[in-house]
Structure 1
Amino acid sequence: MRYLITGTAGFIGFHLARRLLEDGHEVLGVDSFSPYYDLALKEDRNTILEGYGAFRVARLALEDGPAFNAAWAAFSPEVVIHLAAQAGVRYSIDHPEAYISANLVGSFNVLEAARRLPVRHLLCASTSSAYGANVDMPFRETDRAVHPMTLYAATKGATELMGHAYAHLFGVPTTFFRFFTVYGPWGRPDMALFKFAKAILAGEPIDVYGGGDMSRDFTFIDDLVEAVVRLMDVAPNEANRVENDSLSPVAPFRMVNIGGGRPILLMEYIGELERALGRTATKNFLPMQDGDVPHTTASADLLERLIRYKPETPISRGVPAFVDWYRQRYGH
């Protein structure tokens, strides 16, 4: 099949594209190669993908609607996975304009393209941050999520609403997934695991926010990719409605958590990293940062009912896999 993936130079997009290419599919990657973090990392991911004969990349920003439409039309994808976004919770506090442009305008152009050039299934990335100030755990897709803590979360929640409106008005089968703290090889340098590893190996202290009492539902990248691949075959409709579904009553639209439902304390996560590196971190304990939430836990019930799968990789396997990649790439 032909898959169009936005954000293939990014962490998740790279892994998903590589999986689909290995499975024998054609992939068009769309990426602006934004300088938000190390461009060399993005270029190296892209070089690996270009080693597959069935991959091509369109270097453009989603905000450029005409260029994006032209690339979509020329490739004629059967399934589209929209992963590109301006990421980062704290970056959104100081650079809000980047989130309006990339996340809202960019996603609008994806939806407009799907309206004009329909596909079998449109799948779009959202985030566990969309649950915002919710405190009832685990987070369920049917929970109200109307109290975002950052502009990043607000823009992702807005794209969910936009996606529902387009699914209702134009009948595009649309699945949004809320990712829960994804980590693994080729991860982003602004994420905790990468920052912690870099500091520990340099003999520098790590900043541990919230006094170390925070917990996250960590999701290993291979598990997330497997879940997304399986969800591609479950375009939302009444025929595949399951118990406690988030399927819309008025649109071919569904929201699905991708997380394992097993929260891990931040200090346990750091401990696993210390064991993998063979070093002990000097910890600088600090208060919670603006926009952070103390805990996240996914309900994986809907995911399991739909695809008979949920993320299972423990941090005792996932963190060493990241460390192996990090040492190989950076020579520590």
Structure 2
Amino acid sequence: MEILRYAAFTSDPAGGNPAGVVLDASGVDDATMAAAAAEVGFSETAFLIPSADGVPSADGIPPADGIPADGIPPAVRELAVRYFSPLVEVPFCGHATIAAAVAYARRHGPGTLRLRTKSGPVEVTTTLTADGAVQATLTSVPPRTASISEPDLAETLSALGWSVDDLDPAMPPRAAFAGAWHPIIAVASRARLADLDYDGPALLEVMNRNDWVTVNLVWRESADVFHARNPFPTGGVVEDPATGAAAAALGGYLRELALVRPPARLTVHQGHDMGRPGTIVVGVSAEAGSGIAVSGTAVQLG
């Protein structure tokens, strides 16, 4: 099993969010995937499984088995994908999806991947930029939000060492989903976001109870620019440097609460406080309930 290592949402190996990528995990069992992800040690490792389950998709395009004999890649490749952190499997991971799509394009050429995730179908399109980089854009499953109970919010803020007075009243706390659940907690100042030192066991308890994958902490710099940090104790990672799934959830949250005017193009800066800066571009269409687009590039490590 060949494991590639990429950093997503950056063109600099010292930035973005590292991910493991296995381009062909055919026949690999869950225990082996989990062990490999733990050994890699990144917040996520994506395992692509060509041929999925061997059943053609609804539009009649069969799952891909690799490059055909004529050497021409199919316009759309369909694969299953699994995502493992060092501790658990998660239903969807944005940065590992971007990394896997870029790695796949480097190996097989750019195009469209139709991924079967545990959260539903996710399409990823890759293109070559003028300077030869591969740009990837995923479209999430339909997003949605849910309320956070007052006790759970109080417990979360206590674990973070924050108070209600630290929050941005224009962006109320909500749980948001675009493949995985993330509470969106917006603060009123960049300084508050930069000062993050949380109680891991306490935050883990409330996250496990609510099936939250990361906690998406954000500060809104302007109408279309955000800064984010994502504690990830559920995956055995103190903080995720650039979180595509949380960025997609944020886009859905902003549209549902009418906090942006779609169509909108948002920029999320993440990882700067960790010394691994990354940039996530989020596209929010005007169609209610439609998937959120998340774009970025990735660079191979090592």
Q: Normalising by structure 2, what TM-score?
A: 0.27
Instruction: Report the structure, 1 or 2, having the larger helix content.
Output: 1
Q: Normalising by structure 1, what TM-score?
A: 0.25
Instruction: Report the structure, 1 or 2, having the larger strand content.
Output: 2
- Higher relative contact order, structure no. (Cα contacts within 8 Å, ≥ 6 residues apart): 2
